[in-house]
């Protein structure tokens, strides 16, 4: 049996592990009931949910060209990761002038484009680093400076139990923190601490890997935010290597510091995609709320797999973090025009989904449950309460989907609906198995017509998809740096009432599956004007427009809350 076949078998065993776990997880039969959202500002910034890009090794020029090429291909970029190597040595935090001669100016340039900048880092100081000897002479490393060979050299571990060592470390970090970076990709060197057997810290205190990793990741998270504010984050592994590599899940960070995670290094084939899915769904068992995986895989044998890349990009669009980078080819336009077009469409979709993802992740964090919730069926999960996702995990365009009870609406063709049961469906490269629960409220940021959720007229509004069913439905819309608002509707008989508590957002409701209204009023009983077109609708302060089986309602000013009363 060759290695690739072996790992394929093991990855399916990982899927079985996830499937069995899902049977005792959250039911998708109806939207999970819970306490009303607090609507307090989330712990992390909304930008972490934007599209990230990076390359495995690079320079100031190559990363700039990479970003410019994405933008030239009309693909938005919200953040970049400057990966290892970027410093003069691991642990110096001094930008290498041969690689990044103008790091501070580069960071400012990206910020001017509203692009965030993350830097790679670990807990190690390598022997060839210029500050290694100083740290060793002052006793700032674990086990008296004993070194270990790890995947990026040979070095010693910073002693987080020694306050003087931590202060010294912070002074090293300040070199780039003072340049205004937005966070760190904190890579997983910490398991190597077990090679010290045992690791000893300040005062000969024994230090376990669990204690060490908690201090390591937490310090990068907390000190960076202390210096630069709460819109800074770290990207670290939640769970990595479930089933595929060693048979057991390795938990790296704690859920209260890792809000922009990724699940480690994967191959660039179908086995790598399954490996990533195993790790992401296993991370849900530990209630992490925001993470993704390297689209197209980190490792490459020089081969390109168009189908894997496209299906992985689509999966990435339905993860809280959508990031693309690693070895080999990751630029979608280098495959062909079709790949670039599909990639652009799904990056646009991911950006549209940010209000939904940010809000559902915040609510999930409060309830101590995951945002990606495994469901019965191989590699299926709910993204939040109301979007069912069944990503591709093997070659071919057919996908067997296990639908929970209730009605589910195809996200890419709303004329197609499915009720509970097992269906084998076909999806071309421009489609994906994602379904919205009938009854849902889905807030989106729509700026174009790429995904059928609006048009250029939607720009400036928060588009709220509604698929009403009898009864009441609520959705907590969370906001960065301020209290959020509550969206809701009540449907009964021949009436529909839509409400929103005070918000600074202009609101554009897209209500599907209902007849054309006979009358539309506001909370004061005043009739809303029926517009003749979407262009006319968005030119009004408040009104509605009927477009076939969809009715659009626009409210430009909801600063004191709003109510729409519909009679059919």
Does residue 198 have a cis bond before it (omega within 30 degrees)? yes
CB-neighbour burial class of residue 336 (10 A; exposed 0-12, middle 13-18, buried 19+): exposed
**Average pLDDT of span 76-84:** 98
Separation CA 428–CA 302 (nearest Å): 26
Distance, in Å, from the CA atom of 424 to the CA atom of 229, rounded to the nearest integer, reads 48
Give how far the C-alpha of residue 265 lies from the chain's centroid of Cα atoms, to the nearest Å: 17
Report pLDDT for 5.
42
Tokens 């509605």 correspond to 544
Label residue 352 by pLDDT band (50, 70, 90).
very high
pLDDT above 90 for 31: no
Give yes or no for a contact between 244 and 7, defined as CB atoms under 8 angstroms apart: yes
State phi, psi for 140 to the nearest 5 degrees.
Answer: -95, 5
- Specify the pLDDT at position 25: 45
User: What does 337-382 look like in DSSP terms, one character per residue?
Assistant: HHHHHHHHHHHHHHHHTHHHHHHHHHHHHHHT--SEEEETTTTEEE
Closest CA to 355 of 323, 326, 324, 384: 384
Q: What's the pTM value of the predicted model, to 2 decimals?
A: 0.94
pLDDT digits (tens, 9 = 90+) for 265-309: 999 999 999 999 999 999 999 999 999 999 999 998 888 999 999
- Label residue 3 exposed, middle or buried (CB < 10 Å: 0-12, 13-18, 19+): exposed
Closest CA to 346 of 113, 80, 76, 64: 76
More reliable by pLDDT, 249 or 361: 361
CA dihedral sign, ordered 320, 325, 330, 331: positive
Q: Which of 329, 261, 276, 347 is nearest to 78 (CA)?
A: 347
Handedness of CA 38, 42, 47, 49 (dihedral sign): negative
Q: What is the pLDDT of residue 7?
A: 38
Note the pLDDT tens digit of each residue in 111-154. Answer: 999 999 999 999 999 999 999 999 999 999 999 999 999 999 99
Contact 311, 285 (CB under 8 A): no
- Name the nearest CA neighbour of 507 among 444, 452, 438: 444
Q: How many residues does the chain have?
A: 568
Q: Are 484 and 42 in contact (CB under 8 A)?
A: no
| 374-404 pLDDT per residue, tens | 999 999 999 999 999 999 999 999 999 999 9
Give the confidence band of 436 by pLDDT, cuts at 50, 70, 90.
very high
Is 85 a residue whose pLDDT tops 70? yes
Sign of the Cα torsion 355, 361, 367, 369 reads positive
Averaged confidence pLDDT in the chain: 93
Note the pLDDT of residue 24: 45
Six-digit token string for 381: 């999960």
Q: Any bridge partners for residue 16, and if so which?
A: none
Which residues are CB-neighbours of 87 under 8 A, at least 6 positions away?
Answer: 93, 94, 95, 96
pLDDT of residue 301: 80
94, two tokens: 């001094």
Pairing assessment for the beta strands 51-54 and 322-324 based on DSSP bridges:
parallel
**pLDDT tens figures, 213-255:** 999 999 999 999 999 999 999 999 999 875 444 456 789 999 9
Tell me the per-residue pLDDT of 482-540, one tens digit each, with 9 for 90 and over. 999 999 999 998 999 999 999 999 999 999 999 999 999 999 999 999 999 999 999 99
Relative to beta strand 471-479, strand 529-530 is unpaired
The encoded tokens of residue 539 equal 């030119």
Token output for 103: 């790091």
Q: Directed axis angle between helix 270-284 and helix 306-317, to 10°? A: 20
pLDDT at position 343 over 90: yes
24-33, 194-203, 473-482, range with the lowest pLDDT: 24-33
167-211: pLDDT as tens digits:
999 999 999 999 999 999 999 999 999 999 999 999 999 999 999
- DSSP code per residue over 507-535: EEEEEES-PPPSEEEETTSPBPEEPSSHH
Token pair for 37: 């959202």
| Contact between residue 224 and residue 183 where contact means Cβ atoms under 8 Å apart | yes
Helical packing angle, 209-228 and 163-177, nearest 10°: 50
Q: Which two tokens stand for residue 223?
A: 């000190």
Per-residue tokens: 52:
């990230």
- Contacts of 242-245 with C-beta under 8 Å, sequence gap 24+, read 242/14, 242/17, 242/278, 242/279, 242/282, 243/10, 243/11, 243/13, 243/14, 243/17, 243/278, 244/7, 244/10, 244/11, 244/14, 244/271, 244/274, 244/275, 244/278, 245/275
Residues 6+ apart with CB under 8 A from 443: 355, 356, 359, 462, 463, 464, 465, 475, 477, 487
For the beta carbon of residue 535, count every other beta carbon within 10 angstroms. 12
The total of other beta-carbon atoms located within 10 Å of residue 54's CB is: 22
Residue 1 pLDDT exceeds 60: no
Q: For the purposes of burial, counting CB atoms within 10 Å of the CB of 170, is it exposed (0-12), middle (13-18) or buried (19 or more)?
A: middle
pLDDT value at residue 243: 46
* Cis previous bond, 85, omega within 30: yes
The values of phi and psi at residue 437, to 5°, are -65, 130
Confidence at residue 242, expressed as pLDDT on a 0 to 100 scale = 56
On whether the CB atoms of residues 204 and 124 are closer than 8 A, the answer is no
Q: First-to-last CA distance in the chain? A: 66
pLDDT at 429 over 70: yes
Give the pLDDT of residue 34.
67
């Amino acid at each position: 049996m060759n290695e690739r076949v072996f790992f394929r078998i093991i990855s399916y065993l990982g899927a079985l592990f996830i499937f069995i776990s899902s049977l005792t997880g959250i039911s998708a039969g109806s939207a999970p009931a819970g306490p009303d959202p607090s609507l307090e500002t989330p712990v992390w910034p909304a930008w972490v949910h934007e599209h990230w890009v990076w390359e495995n090794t690079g320079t100031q020029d190559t990363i700039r060209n990479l970003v410019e090429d994405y933008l030239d291909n009309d693909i938005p970029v919200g953040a970049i990761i400057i990966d290892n190597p970027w410093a003069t040595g691991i642990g110096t935090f001094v930008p290498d002038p041969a690689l990044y001669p103008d790091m501070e100016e580069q960071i400012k340039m990206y910020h001017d484009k509203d692009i965030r900048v993350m830097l790679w880092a670990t807990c190690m100081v390598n022997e060839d680093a210029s500050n290694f000897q100083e740290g060793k002479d002052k006793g700032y490393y674990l086990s008296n400076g004993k070194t270990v060979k790890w995947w990026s050299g040979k070095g010693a571990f910073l002693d987080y139990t020694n306050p003087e060592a931590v202060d010294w470390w912070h002074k090293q970090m300040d070199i780039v923190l003072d340049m205004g970076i937005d966070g760190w990709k904190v890579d997983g060197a910490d398991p190597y601490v077990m090679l010290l057997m045992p690791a000893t810290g300040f005062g000969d205190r024994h230090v376990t890997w669990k204690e060490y990793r908690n201090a390591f990741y937490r310090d990068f998270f907390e000190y960076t935010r202390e210096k630069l504010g709460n819109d800074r984050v770290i990207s670290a592994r939640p769970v990595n290597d479930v089933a595929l590599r060693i048979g057991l899940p390795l938990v790296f960070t704690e859920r209260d510091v890792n809000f922009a995670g990724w699940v480690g290094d994967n191959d660039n084939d179908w086995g790598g995609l399954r490996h990533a899915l195993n790790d992401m769904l296993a991370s849900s068992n530990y209630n992490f709320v925001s993470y993704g995986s390297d689209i197209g895989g980190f490792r490459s044998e020089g081969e390109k797999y168009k189908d894997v890349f496209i299906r992985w990009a689509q999966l990435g669009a339905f993860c809280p973090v959508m990031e693309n980078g690693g070895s080999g080819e990751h630029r979608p336009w280098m495959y062909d025009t079709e790949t670039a077009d599909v990639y652009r469409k799904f990056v646009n979709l991911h950006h549209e989904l940010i209000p939904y993802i940010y809000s559902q992740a915040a609510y999930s964090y409060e309830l101590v449950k995951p945002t990606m919730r495994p469901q019965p069926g191989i590699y299926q999960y709910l993204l939040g309460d109301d979007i069912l996702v069944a990503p591709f995990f093997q070659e071919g365009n057919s996908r067997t989907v296990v639908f929970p009870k209730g009605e589910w609406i195809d996200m890419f063709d709303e004329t197609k609906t499915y009720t509970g049961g097992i269906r084998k469906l076909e999806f071309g490269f421009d489609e994906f198995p994602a379904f919205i629960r009938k009854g849902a409220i889905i807030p989106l940021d729509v700026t174009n017509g790429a995904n059928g959720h609006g048009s250029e007229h939607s720009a400036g509004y928060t588009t709220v998809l509604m698929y009403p069913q009898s009864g009441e439905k609520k959705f907590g819309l969370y906001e960065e740096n301020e209290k959020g608002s509550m969206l809701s509707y009540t449907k009964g008989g021949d009436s529909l009432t839509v409400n929103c508590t005070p918000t600074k957002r202009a609101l554009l409701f897209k209500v599907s599956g209902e007849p054309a209204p006979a009358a539309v009023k506001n909370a004061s009983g005043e009739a809303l004007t029926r517009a003749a077109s979407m262009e006319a609708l968005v030119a009004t302060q408040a009104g509605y427009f009927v477009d076939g089986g969809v009715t659009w309602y626009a409210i430009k000013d909801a600063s004191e809350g709003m109510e729409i009363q519909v009679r059919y």
